[in-house]
Structure 1
Amino acid sequence: MIPVALVILLTAFLTVTQLRNELRIRQALGIPSPQLQEFGYRLQRSEASRRTLEQEVAVLRERVAVMRWRSVEGQEDVLALNAEVERLRAQAGLTSVEGPGVVVEMRDSPRALLPGEDPNNVLVHYTDLQAVVNELWAAGAEAVAINGERFTVGSSIQCVGATILVNRRRVTPPLRIEAIGQPETLDSYLRRSDGQIAYLRAFDFPVSMTRSARLLVPPYRGPIPVASVRIGQ
């Protein structure tokens, strides 16, 4: 019987203590017991909400980190694409380029005409200019300009009467051809005994050639017709 009595006594003591503590809290805060229970419930919910928000913040931070990484990766792709565009523009002659090369100057012949001779015999013609440019391409020239006009795949050299047109712009002697490439290779190719320059010199046309460590060739400024061109699939 003694152990049972002790249990009853201990239970009663704990109950009284709990009631007294609750009474003290209610008296100190002036809050009824049901409201105190409600506050406890709200506190639990707030704690749960806080944990949920912390989890959401962690997820958002991870997303931000991924977006930053993708942004950096995207910027690298854009930079690479821009570099490729500039490379293609340079190859198409749409940007100014510089480098070593050779300069060729051609002038009309200063010799006097013979009686009844055709005046065209002492003039540099567009065919002479075209022949020298073709030889430069064959020798490995990477960029060519004629009197400041960039010569590209879409360029043309024409003749209207005694007037030479490059990219539909008038050019007059002295005709200055600037070509970027290996100076030694370009120079030696142009000096061939069966080349166009040897032919012009044989008929008293002044032609000079010089090597240059640095030439600046301007971009192509003419029209680019694309009436029939389509991007392939």
Structure 2
Amino acid sequence: MKRCLLFNLFVMIFNMALGQHYKYIDSSKVMGLKSYQQEIKEHPDSRLVEIKKYIPEIVLDIRYATTNNFTHHRMYPQARAFARLPVVMALKDVEADLKTRGLGLKIYDAYRPYTITEKFYEVTPDTNFVADPRKGSKHNRGCAIDLSLVDLKTGKELDMPTGFDGFSRKAGANYPDLPQQKIVNRELLKSVMQAHGFKVIATEWWHYDFNGWANYPLLDIPFSAI
């Protein structure tokens, strides 16, 4: 307990020294680069890793590295996807499971720096579909993945209730008034993800949180520093 308190105090002092300020949250609750580097020295298994390096066959469609997203702006400098190592190892099991069914995963988003969460909220302050920056996002912890299913033979996405970031009631994880095949595809994704340690959120069929997310702090680390 003392060690934890001292570490949190160190993070707060370090962020204050940097002049690191956020509009919606106390800076001590968001881990910057130096604090993160110290953390992974002590706990290397908690580090952020690039998903493609561990699962080469996974498909990436990183929308926030393009203008094809709800902000209509390029939010990421690179089309890359990162997550905490245990999250990526669980995704590797998901991909292997799906492969036996002739399917694979397509990722739209994974780790997201905290400052991007602030920007999303300022574009669309609807916390049904964007994270409340006063709390932060599981994406900021490296413990959330936005994804869908693809057919390995055709490379095409399976038909889902809405497109990615389809901000409507139809995007709900249990919305019932849909064509049967869309429900079947959504439920297949849900069952496989849940079997390997993920939980879908109620408002977005594509968003899955890793069950151990509470063990990881919010991060504001640029992709270039990972």
**TM-score normalized with structure 2 length:** 0.21
Higher RCO structure (Cα 8 Å, ≥6 apart): 1
Max Rg structure: 1
